[in-house]
Structure 1
Amino acid sequence: MDEETFEQFAEQLERYVRERLIPAEPQVIENDAVPADIIQEMREMGLFGLTVPEEYGGAGLNMSQYARTVNIMAYAAPAYRSIFSINVGMFASALKNGATEDQRAEWFPKLAEGKIACFGLTEPGSGSDSAGLQTTARPSADGNGWVLNGTKRYITNAPHADVALIMARTEKENLPKNAHVSAFLVPMNAAGVSTGSPDKKMGQSGSHISDIMLDDVEVPGEALLGGETGKGFRFAMQSLDNGRISVGATAAGYARRALDSAIRYANERKAFGEPIANFQLIQQMLADSEIEIYAAEAMMRDVTSRADRGENILIKAAAFKVFSSEMCGRVVDRVVQVYGGAGYLAEYDAERFYRDARIYRIYEGTTQILQLQIAKHMLREWEALNG
């Protein structure tokens, strides 16, 4: 999308977030669901196909535009972004990176029209540890397809999804570069696919996760992403760069919402005869939050511009996600403190911000896993230069 058109879209989206989505938040929280009419509006706005190439019916946003869109959406309740985030993030990225032309022609238009995708990597016994992955894919009896068995856990949008990208073991033994893992495009209405009840969570009302159970699920040979075994984990990890940028942009957007709420409350709440916004220690918490949000926004602009130039962003995407998610946690903690006793009450927004933000430090790679990954790649780069 050209920049002038995108700026018009971004301005329209900001109005939609503030005038439509935020007023509907009490309904989302009460019903633990995004209203169907809002989901349809989001489809009509093209939000489910933001990163789908234009030739397949999508908006064709580059990484900078995509991250900014997510950042704008994240100002509202997390459920709104969550319902389309897998489509425009990891699923679309995996199709771009690893799908055959036939697979792109089949699935990109479906994403653009609003079909919902999910991403099946995490399992009960493994998350970032691919060696522990237990879901299997074996050749079907006729040799023309695959049979999948296993369970995936904590899968965002699984209860509503039309299609899943499932990581499965195609070799019994662990192989170098995770070549024992392949990726499969699995329709959620396929025989043998079922989902558990949505998990009850600490926060993020209206955003649903559940298990996916695969019981002798037969898929055709065309379901193997890229048409080759052993490439699935690489496709998944490349997609996670995209997902981590999305989480970082989301955390920065939600931190901005929380800080704006704290500024408003600090000007309304009076103590000792004056607004608490006049007190220097309150001002310090507000200022520290602004400083950190600005740093995250600057990181977002840098890493996305690098991605658009075709640079390897593995380290920087992980660094942005770590900093932004940890920053958001610090900001919402300060916001509760600014609210004081009211910050602990469910009738005020601060308590919700605090619960909603906690997951950002966990999904798409915990802070600790990403610290290990960053260090590992730093050391590899040093060895390549000095070895």
Structure 2
Amino acid sequence: MTAVEDPRRGTATDTAARPGPPRGDFTLLWCSETISLLGTQITLVALPLTAVLTLHASGPQMGLINAAGWLPIVVLGLVAGAWSDRHDQRRTMLVCHVCRALLVGAIPLLSAADMLTVPALLLLAFAIGCFSVFFDVAYQTLVPFTVAQEGLARANSRLEMSRSFAQLLGPTCAGFLVVQFSPAGALTLDAASYAVSAACVLGIAARRAPRAAAAHPGGRSTARGLRGDLAEGLRFIRKHRQVQLVILAGATSNLFTAGLMALQVLYATRELGLSPRTIGVCLAAEGVAALIGSALVARMIGRGGEPRTVLIGLALLTGGGVVLAATTRDWSWIGFAAAQFAFGFSSPLINVSLVTLRQRLTPEHILGRVNAAARVGIMSSLPLGSLLAGLAAGALGNQGALWTCALGLTAVLVTTALPLLRVQTAHDG
């Protein structure tokens, strides 16, 4: 792989001309995202419980509601990237927060009025997912403009720590709220979290990334239609082998990770004989490990660079898959808990490193489109991996399917190791 210079760095004149980010911008962004993530985790529990307990939804209906939340990523992901490059990301985030607050808040109101139905919940889940796509792309694109280059890894690690914290605390809060109020009533807190997050976004400085209508770094105008913007983003990815590798590493590892996640509870229950309480305690180990990994990832990147940190994360993820597949009843809870710890610790190492590396390798004027394309590729692999793992379980049994996923992760680790180390060489310059 040919070494290339970091296209985001530019010349010394360019760097000097561009003012640094205002102090406090990232703090506001971090606070906004932390509050929003906690509310989102509550919704991930309360919304399906609303469908099951309040609307008595069937299995197929539950599948449709779940799919409605993921579908916007595939349908609107690339469009959200082009939009983010053309518009003020802060304003996009603000609009998305307000709209999601109204949509989520409508669910308990409709439930209280006895007007909530499965079709209505389906449409609301899809609409919430649409605004979430635009928000996620905008905030990932905005991060590099709120911190200096040398603080990018630290900023992403803090955001990942907030995600891990929300995943650990959110479901517990959701369970308490559902018991104290109702499944639909618990969603009121998520609506409030979006409103508070919007207030934080209001404090972020308005001057932002170059618009797509602004001049290209080479002097060529990039004012064009949406189709041209999308084509430019995809063309950059097609020509930039290192960015391709970053996206491919995330998508392929997610493909096999989704398979492990889809089957592990079933395997723990039927093959290992673990009780729901034991499974819950073991799964909590994943959240604890994710918090530890989030606290350490910036230091690891500082010492070894993003690509080496990705490889460490992939090695841990692969090891966890092997341990899970090899676990028998003799070491049931120990093996299952060890696998969860490996999964949790590896997640921030992989996520933070890949996002930071992608942000470093991508020019500012096209970052939104590249972020969006990456999200489409990576997130689309999740339902595909779950589906393929289910088919493999039918043909090979649960343990056989887990071994297939573990071997798949091993192949990802082996095939991406040398190319990723070459990216490290290019980054070190």
- TM normalised by structure 1 equals 0.36
> Would you tell me which structure has more strand in proportion to its own residues?
1
- Using CA pairs below 8 Å that are at least 6 residues apart, which structure has the higher relative contact order? 2
> Would you tell me which structure has more helix in proportion to its own residues?
2
